[in-house]
Chains A and B, each alone.
Chain A
Amino acid sequence: MSEPVIICRDVHKWYGQFHALRGIDLEVDKGEVIVIFGPSGSGKSTFIRTINRLEEHQQGTIIVNGIELSHDVRNIAAIRKEVGMVFQQFNLFPHLAVMQNITLGPIQVRKWKKKKAEEIAMQLLERVGIPEQAEKYPGQLSGGQQQRVAIARALAMQPQIMLFDEPTSALDPEMIKEVLDVMVELAESGMTILAVTHEMGFARAVADRMLFMDAGSIVESGPPSQIFENPQEDRTKLFLSQILQH
């Protein structure tokens, strides 16, 4: 067995006086697909955002791809190169065309030639199913298309790990599937994925492990079969019964 690609040991985070992460321990192996779920405000976003240092943790250790996150800016940059992120609100760059959105990182950070970056961007657009939108601006696309561009933008950096923070929560129902399809394909291709989502169909289909978070801690973790059929914790049961009711 090789080293885990993400190691979190006793990670704590405070917003002022508010204790948002209360000792998170987690190891993620290469190629693992992890789904994080739990009530709103339980710290899911905060947690996955500490992994690429969009949020700073104040106690504990986070090691990504063998590099420890510290105040060293070079370490942060090195980790961010290997960690792609997809946001709930897409956060595409509205003043850049789809193609430029995708190639900006590779050209600026990976120092690729424009031509190479554009070829790879085109392949990625085909992979997410919208090669014909390359010249459009984000504002001209539907939510589902924008989120697929966002996925392509993250993949263009050729990351080792992908983080998803509720990627389908801002989408109209008919567009959720097109984004999930891309995520399933990505999961099956062997990408290491941490996804915050309440799409239980997705979790059941591709997750290796599910983490239930509440009040800043991981309350329960296990494979989907255990979480769905035989949850150990009352809080997990209660939460699942609430979201699976409909």
Chain B
Amino acid sequence: MTTTASTTQGEVLPPPTERYTVLGWLKKNLFGSWLDAILTILAALFIAWAVYTGANWVFKTARWDVIVNNFALFMKGQYPTEEAWRLWLVIYLAAAIGGLMWGVFVRSREMAGWLLLILPLLFALAALALGSNVWINVLLIDVVALVAYFLGRTFPKQLQRPTITLLLLYLPLILLIVRGFGENGFMPQVGTNFWGGLLLSLLLAIIGIVFSFPIGVLLALGRQSELKAIHWLSVIYIEVIRGVPLVTLLFMGMVMLPYVLPAGLRIDNFIRVAVAIVMFAAAYLAENVRGGLQSIPKGQYEAADAIALGGFAKMTRIILPQALRAVIPVLVGQFIGLFKDTSLVALVGLFDLLGIARAVLANPNYIGTQLEVYTFIALVYWVFSYGLSYASKRLETSLGVGER
């Protein structure tokens, strides 16, 4: 070969790099022409004005006392303060599972960075807003997450199964903790009518996700079934539910159910809206999963048949793992939508985050604080939605979603 000499290390040419001075960069990107220059200046003026006005409002005009004074209400509704430690426990569990998952599956060091970085921020916020023992809990939660993360990172193989088991057990466990049992004792029962605020929003979202998932997958499989009865039942369910707004389902659950049920049988409001949310989400999930199923090439079914796999093993080992993996990004998007959709329960009289906001605003003491209150709850929704979206993106990359 004639090129052998030039392929030795030292002689490889580096790719050409463009070098800019600050001025050069400015000139190229912002002031390339008269029009560019004018637009740049206008945009800069607008940004400056927006930042100034925003900061002025945040730091001078806004009455944040409405948030500070009602913080506990926003977070947990009427859940009794003596029992609030149970909610902390729920968060500790979440931190442990989250840390483990990050350590076992994602394995990037970023997590540690985040925790070390977020920590002081949360500190400041917590101390500012809530005083007393809150910051100790925040600190400990952070430590739990970090420890779990390092454990997961160190023993990824051994901890993979326990982590998944914990994840599956999370919902029943927290329902047990939040609801409690018995009249008194160490975890007395707290009725669902006391659940409120962010607690209620999150519980509804988690229930919606966890229950709609298997139902949606079954519906998707049902829709593909060769048994006509199952196929048509699935199609009818999916299309009917998808044709109805969630609010309508919620109203039907709240207003119509009592007429249909025998007198005397009352179903908890929480359960009614939870069922409506699950039914609604399952139909959409089924359609998304169907998209995944359709993306699986025929050859995969044939290869599974050729090694004599039965129908169940073929689905659970070959088809579903690939189909679900292909639609993880879509499903995450759907789950984020579901979390935000739980705010609709405020319209049927439940006190989720939005419901609490409306209740607080109805208090004469806080007249004129709409902007503060809605900014705050928007921020809370955003933090959770973005957090979920970010975490799932990382999980997707490390699970190789989208690669075949």
Contact surface of A with B, Cβ cutoff 8 Å: 52-54, 77, 80-81, 83-85, 87, 89, 91-95, 104-105, 108-109, 139, 153-154, 157
Contact = CB atoms under 8 A, between A and B. Distances in A.
A82 to B, nearest CB: 9
A226 B321 CA distance: 50
Contacts of B239: none
Interface stretch (B140-148, B184-192, B307-315, B369-377): B307-315
Given A139-B403, A153-B307, 16 more contacts: A77-B308, A81-B308, A83-B306, A84-B307, A87-B302, A93-B300, A93-B304, A93-B318, A93-B322, A95-B322, A95-B325, A104-B307, A105-B308, A109-B307, A154-B306, A154-B307
B268 interface: no
B307 A77 contact: no
Top 7 nearest A-B pairs (CB, nearest first) are: A105-B307, A80-B308, A91-B303, A91-B299, A85-B306, A94-B404, A81-B308
Contacts of A89: 299
A94 B325 CA distance: 11
Nearest to A87: B299
A6 B318 CA distance: 29
Interface string B360-404: 000000000000000000000000000000000000000000011
Interface of B: 297, 299-300, 302-310, 313, 317-318, 321-322, 325, 403-404
A157 B307 CA distance: 7
Contact of A139 (B300, B305, B322, B404): B404
Contacts, number: 60
B303 A108 contact: no
A91 B303 CA distance: 6
Given A77-B308, A80-B308, A87 B325 contact: no
A126 to B, nearest CB: 20
Given A91-B299, A94-B404, A108 B313 contact: yes
A81 B308 CA distance: 6
A52 B300 CA distance: 15
Contacts of A84: 306-307
Contact of A77 (B297, B302, B310): B310
Contacts of A94: 322, 404
Nearest to B403: A139
29 contacts: A52-B305, A53-B305, A54-B306, A77-B308, A77-B310, A80-B305, A80-B306, A81-B308, A84-B306, A87-B299, A87-B303, A91-B300, A91-B302, A92-B303, A93-B304, A93-B322, A94-B322, A94-B404, A95-B321, A95-B322, A95-B325, A105-B307, A105-B308, A108-B313, A109-B307, A109-B310, A109-B313, A154-B307, A157-B308
